[in-house]
Chains A and B, each alone.
Chain A
Amino acid sequence: MNIIEAKQLVHEFFRRDEEGNIEGIQVALDKVDLKVEAGQFISILGHNGSGKSTLAKHINALLTPSEGTLYVDGKDTSDGKNELAIRQSAGMVFQNPDNQIIASIVEEDVGFGPENMGVPTDEIWERVERSLKSVGMWKYHAHSPNKLSGGQKQRVAIAGVMAMEPKCIILDEPTAMLDPDGRKEVIKVAHELNEKKGVTVILITHYMEEVVGSDYVYVMDKGKVVMEGDPRNIFSRVEELQSHRMDVPQITLLAHELRNSGLDIPEGILTREELMNVLNLG
């Protein structure tokens, strides 16, 4: 069964003038079709303003479709009654780590979601411990989030979502404000959760390097899904990616140029090791 299924999803933002009259309509999502199977690791790539964050907010029922339908875990997001159930089955992690941590102690923040859901006290503690351990932050459970690094804060935010025991987590540009180390940390944790706990992960990002290792990739531009396929397929379409303003990773670009100049290299090189193997340098 598909855990997330979008059919012809449209979202329009209205620009209003000072009297509240509609000045113009901005189409943020334009007939998006999307299918995610339970247990998959999905990436959505896109440049700024491509509509990828709007899509993320739809999956969490923070926005509702202007047209079309979106089902999360079999529930229609446009039905207000499903709101809380959808947010429980699809948790969301945002870009800015500081602006999504509510409490001043790590463990209290992780407990915030279960508290809202009405989970009994003993179980909250079990969940907090389990989810903090799953992101490797248990030893900081009594710390203040202000003293953690960006990557650590983001892991706490992921733990806060994991404590709600969702079937699916949506990471909306979780690495955009982090340094390279923090970025690696967060992506690694996301993959671990996917592999060990079987959580469906939807990673929204504009760094192409981060989509390596996902099961399926969607590329968005101007509110439309413009490319989809597995990472190797996507990475082999270098010119097409560039036309959608994506920065192709250097190693893929290098392999692509070498191939164009006549070297015998397959398309869609994802990592440095792969290229070294192909060139017999390893």
Chain B
Amino acid sequence: MFREITIGQYYPADSLLHRLDPRVKLFGTIIYLISIFVAGDIFSFAFLALFLVMIIRLSKVPFSYMVKGLRGIVLLLVIAGVFNLFMTPGQALVEFGPLTISDVGLKNAVLMTARMIFLIIGTSIMTLTTTPNQLTDGLETSLAPLTIFNVPVHEIALMMSIALRFIPILVEETDKIMKAQMARGADFESKGIVRKAKAMVPLLVPLFVSAFRRASDLALAMEARCYHGGEGRTKMKPLHYEKEDRLSYVVIISYLILLIVIRIVL
């Protein structure tokens, strides 16, 4: 059940998107997020979808692989969609006894579901095409000015990259612990929130214990490899802008402008 999570996973391939500077991709993702909320009608969403399809083709990551990341949030989508559909007041379109679907509700439900899907797929493209180290390098350089305010930018970046590295390991471990406990009669299948919550306790305790042990091992291993903070550190993959990076900035900004124009004009 946990193995399907693709958020935060890197998909190795040789594509334009993989080669782009992480700072460009971070900027692009932020613009893309803004654009999702700018878009509000069928035309702007069509344009957004077109842009997304182009990006997916450019990334060379199979579409089916991305959709897998959606599976985990299907339930969330359905619940949010249903609530929007039935609970929004407005002019009634259909009535089933106490339940009514209003015109505003229908619009909201469709809009919100579409936004969520675009959000998940769009942001996962960034993590799929950027190694966690590149991503944190990008964050580190983009946020570097904050060090003036004593924000530990390097440390935050490192913590993020290590967290991402350990997600698959901890997922596997969770799976293992669950199986070990199911073998001894633990019940993870039964319905009901209280029961499910109770079943989580014997799962979380060993998981936390082992995570702390791993953390202490990792700290030792990092120290043994001369890690002593960000000072005097060189970079294996230093960031510098190429022609395609500058071009991408232009593309991203013109995308947002075009979208706004479509939204206003049509």
Interface residues of A in 66-96 (CB under 8 A from B): 84, 87-88, 91-92, 94, 96
Q: Is the Cβ of A102 less than 8 Å from the Cβ of B12?
A: no
Cα(A143)–Cα(B223), bound, Å: 24
Chain A's closest residue to B12 (CB) is A142
Q: Is the Cβ of B236 less than 8 Å from the Cβ of A125?
A: yes
Q: Is the Cβ of B221 less than 8 Å from the Cβ of A124?
A: no
Q: Is the Cβ of B233 less than 8 Å from the Cβ of A116?
A: yes
Q: Is the Cβ of A62 less than 8 Å from the Cβ of B220?
A: yes
Contacts of A107 in B (CB 8 A): 236
Residues 210-249 of chain B: 1 if any A CB is under 8 Å from the residue's CB, otherwise 0? 0000100110111111111000111111100000000000
Query: Known contacts A100-B218, A119-B234, A143-B12: does B131 contact A108 (CB below 8 Å)?
Result: yes
Chain B's closest residue to A87 (CB) is B226
Give min CB distance, A148 to chain B, whole Å. Answer: 12
Q: Which of B161, B226, B228 has the largest count of A CB atoms less than 10 A from its CB?
A: B226
Report how many A-B pairs have Cβ atoms within 8 Å: 100
Q: Looking at the complex, which one of A94, A104, A124 makes contact with B10 (CB distance below 8 Å)?
A: A104
Contacts of B165 in A (CB 8 A): 101-104
Contacts of A120 in B (CB 8 A): 234
Q: Is B180 an interface residue (CB 8 A)?
A: no
Q: Is the Cβ of B236 less than 8 Å from the Cβ of A88?
A: no
Q: Is the Cβ of B214 less than 8 Å from the Cβ of A98?
A: yes
Contacts of A131 in B (CB 8 A): none
Q: Looking at the complex, which one of B131, B224, B233 makes contact with A118 (CB distance below 8 Å)?
A: B233
Contacts of A111 in B (CB 8 A): 236
Cα(A96)–Cα(B217), bound, Å: 8
Cα(A105)–Cα(B236), bound, Å: 12
Contacts of B120 in A (CB 8 A): none
Cα(A70)–Cα(B238), bound, Å: 38
Q: Is A161 an interface residue (CB 8 A)?
A: yes
Determine chain A's interface SS by DSSP, over half rule.
helix
Query: Known contacts A98-B214, A142-B12: does B234 contact A115 (CB below 8 Å)?
Result: yes
Q: Is the Cβ of B133 less than 8 Å from the Cβ of A91?
A: no
Query: Known contacts A119-B234, A142-B12, A144-B10: does B222 contact A102 (CB below 8 Å)?
Result: yes
Q: Is A146 an interface residue (CB 8 A)?
A: yes
Q: Is B168 an interface residue (CB 8 A)?
A: yes
Contacts of A146 in B (CB 8 A): 168-169
Residues 148-168 of chain A: 1 if any B CB is under 8 Å from the residue's CB, otherwise 0? 000000000000110010000
Q: Is the Cβ of A94 less than 8 Å from the Cβ of B217?
A: yes
Contacts of A88 in B (CB 8 A): 226
Contacts of B228 in A (CB 8 A): 84, 116
Give min CB distance, A217 to chain B, whole Å. Answer: 24
Q: Is B92 an interface residue (CB 8 A)?
A: no
Cα(A128)–Cα(B236), bound, Å: 10
**Contact sample, A vs B, 10 pairs, CB 8 Å cutoff:** A94-B221, A98-B214, A105-B10, A107-B236, A112-B227, A116-B233, A120-B234, A142-B12, A143-B12, A144-B10
Interface positions of B (Cβ within 8 A of A): 10, 12, 131-133, 161-162, 164-165, 168-169, 214, 217-218, 220-228, 232-238
Known: A104-B132, A108-B237, A114-B234. 14 other contacts (CB 8 A): A62-B220, A96-B217, A98-B214, A102-B225, A103-B131, A103-B161, A104-B133, A108-B131, A121-B236, A121-B238, A146-B168, A160-B225, A164-B225, A164-B226
